[in-house]
Amino acid sequence: MKTRVLIVDDEEEFVNALSKRLRIRDYDVTTSLSGEEALEKMKHYLFDVVILDVAMPGMSGIETLREIKKIKPLTEVIMLTGHATVESAIEGMKLGAFDYLLKPCETDDLIAKINLAYNRKAEHEERIREAKVRQILASPRTVLEDE
């Protein structure tokens, strides 16, 4: 299964180019040009990794991140910033972002980070599944309760 990536950035050209490059590298890429649009899409589709620009008009990267973590806490977020303020990076990490990258970034770096983030998410989901399995084994009735 392809890794599902959502790119959120207000620079359309950047989003287009990056999405094409990632598709070439065999990722399932969705794009959105604002935080609001991204949240809307996240409600309907599942994504593994979100690449999120910090500085955007309208809903800022940090606010978007906060919302993403509310609706899909397991989705990993990589912050992308042209403004290398340590403060916003730290804040992002505190809010649960996986990592951050400075623009312009090396494509290889970005891909490596996407893969790491995906792996973590996968591991995380795996552990949750295992826990559920253990729970079901211990008390099979919970399957009924859960659904």
Binder of another protein out of 26, 73, 106, 141 (CB under 8 A): 106
Binder of another protein out of 105, 116, 120, 122 (CB under 8 A): 105
**Is residue 84 close enough to count as binding another protein by CB under 8 A?**
yes
**Tokens 């509310």 sit on residue:** 70
Binder of another protein out of 46, 58, 107, 123 (CB under 8 A): 107
Binder of another protein out of 46, 71, 90, 102 (CB under 8 A): 102
**Is residue 83 close enough to count as binding another protein by CB under 8 A?**
yes
Q: What minimum distance in Å lies between the beta carbon of 88 and another protein?
A: 11
The first and second tokens of residue 29, run together, are 């890429």
The first and second tokens of residue 119, run together, are 């792996």
Q: Are 114 and 51 in contact (CB under 8 A)?
A: yes
The first and second tokens of residue 40, run together, are 């809307």
* Phi and psi at residue 31, to the nearest 5°: -120, 155
Give how many residues touch another protein by CB under 8 A: 21
- Taking CB under 8 A as the criterion, which residues in 108-147 touch another protein? none
**Is residue 26 close enough to count as binding another protein by CB under 8 A?**
no
Pick the closest to residue 110 from 12, 13, 11, 17 (CA basis): 17
Reduced to 3 states, what is the DSSP secondary structure of residue 5? strand
Pick the closest to residue 60 from 85, 94, 88 (CA basis): 88
**Is residue 21 close enough to count as binding another protein by CB under 8 A?**
yes
The residue ranges that bind another protein (CB under 8 A) are: 11, 13-14, 17-18, 20-21, 24-25, 55, 82-86, 102-107
